[in-house]
Chains A and B, each alone.
Chain A
Amino acid sequence: MEIKYYIGLAVALFCIGVAGVLTRRNAIIIFMCIELMLNAVNVLLVAFSKMHALSALGKAMPSVVSDGQLFVFFIMVVAAAEVSVGLAIIVMMYRNVHAVDVNFLNRLKN
């Protein structure tokens, strides 16, 4: 498979995520869209690592091959941590304003 299709897939997923962040007001869904964007990046990383693996076939394996996949692993680690804290914040927010609408988070303005 050519790399451009993977790039296209990742970009499409990423942009869907961006559009979701922009169009929805529900904090939880915005959060999920962010997860979507992170996964788009993950796909891209794995695809590139495999591309390098192919081009390095028969030679000494370059470190970028496993590095790419390890990056995905660390991104997942961070994402998990982020989700736990982020959801705690959303719960907190819901407890205070009884809504998950991000537009209620405008107290800085006043």
Chain B
Amino acid sequence: MSITEILFWFLTAMALGSAIMVITSRSPVHSVLWLIVTFFAISGHYIMMNAQFLAIVNIIVYAGAIMVLFLFVVMLMNLNAESEPQKNRMLQFAGLLAGGCLFLVILASLMKATETSSMVQLGSGNEGLIKNLGKALFNDYVIPFEISSVLFLSAMIGAVLIGKKEKAEHDGN
């Protein structure tokens, strides 16, 4: 077993394990923290595949910004394990079963698929570098890039509008 394989399996185990911890831990704060671990593992995978830009962005945007936002909201609401709503056992079991079945079905289809043994380039290749991605982004994808800025703007406005305290209607409540 080469060092890349060991690294791959280690990161995979880390990602899956912390993902399971996300959905099983009772406290939302723990869930958020475990999710950050998952993201770090995924970023590790990106680095292995030499997708350096994505790895950095993943850590900065996801683990940094988004998860901090989550953490912020969780703490704002003062949510903890005690306030965590409990779901019907039956439904919980059914959900688990459905997820498992989905996993098995897709895996089974994978068994039937051809060319599943194509190799993935690891540790080399320069298309994932910032330089090359930047070129592609600002040449071929300049319009979607600009549109995404509009998307951000509208999302920001939307978030502010939704989060704003309404005055008249909810005074009574």
Instruction: Let me know if chains A and B touch directly in the complex, using CB atoms closer than 8 Å.
Output: yes
Q: Which residue of B lies closest to A77 (CB)?
A: B148
Interfacial residues, chain A to chain B (CB-CB below 8 A): 1-9, 11-13, 15-26, 28-29, 31-33, 35-36, 39, 42-43, 46-47, 49-51, 53-55, 57, 61, 63, 65-67, 69-70, 72-74, 76-85, 87-92, 94-96, 99-101, 103
Count A-B contacts at CB 8 Å: 249
Q: Chain B interface: which size bin?
A: 35 or more
Interfacial residues, chain B to chain A (CB-CB below 8 A): 4-5, 8, 12, 15-16, 19-20, 22-23, 28, 31-32, 35, 38-39, 42, 45-46, 49-51, 53-54, 57-58, 61-62, 65-66, 69-70, 73-74, 76-77, 79, 84-87, 91-92, 94-96, 98-100, 102-103, 106-107, 110, 115-122, 125, 127-128, 132-133, 136-137, 140-141, 144, 148, 151-152, 154-156, 158-160, 162-163, 165, 170, 173
Residues of chain B contacted by A99 (CB below 8 angstroms): 85
Beta-carbon contact of B8 and A1 below 8 Å: yes
Beta-carbon contact of B159 and A23 below 8 Å: no
Instruction: Give the CA-CA distance A91 to B163 in the complex, in Å.
Output: 7
Beta-carbon contact of A6 and B85 below 8 Å: no
Beta-carbon contact of A88 and B118 below 8 Å: no
Beta-carbon contact of A100 and B79 below 8 Å: yes
- B8 to chain A: closest CB distance in Å? 6
Beta-carbon contact of A77 and B151 below 8 Å: yes
Set A43, A76, A85: member contacting B61, Cβ < 8 A: A76
Instruction: Give the CA-CA distance A30 to B74 in the complex, in Å.
Output: 13
Residues of chain A contacted by B66 (CB below 8 angstroms): 35, 79-80, 83
Beta-carbon contact of B23 and A66 below 8 Å: no
Set B16, B121, B155: member contacting A12, Cβ < 8 A: B16
Beta-carbon contact of B100 and A43 below 8 Å: no
Instruction: Give the CA-CA distance A26 to B154 in the complex, in Å.
Output: 26
18 A-B residue pairs with Cβ-Cβ distance under 8 Å, sorted by A, are A3-B118, A26-B79, A42-B58, A43-B45, A46-B49, A46-B128, A47-B49, A50-B49, A53-B121, A54-B120, A69-B51, A69-B127, A77-B148, A78-B151, A81-B154, A87-B69, A88-B158, A91-B163
Beta-carbon contact of A16 and B23 below 8 Å: yes
Decide if the interface of chain B is mainly helix, strand, loop or mixed. Answer: helix
Most B Cβ at <10 Å: residue of A32, A49, A74: A32
Instruction: Give the CA-CA distance A55 to B125 in the complex, in Å.
Output: 12
Instruction: Give the CA-CA distance A83 to B86 in the complex, in Å.
Output: 24
Residues of chain B contacted by A79 (CB below 8 angstroms): 62, 66
Residues of chain A contacted by B100 (CB below 8 angstroms): 15, 19
Beta-carbon contact of A39 and B42 below 8 Å: yes
Instruction: Give the CA-CA distance A18 to B73 in the complex, in Å.
Output: 22
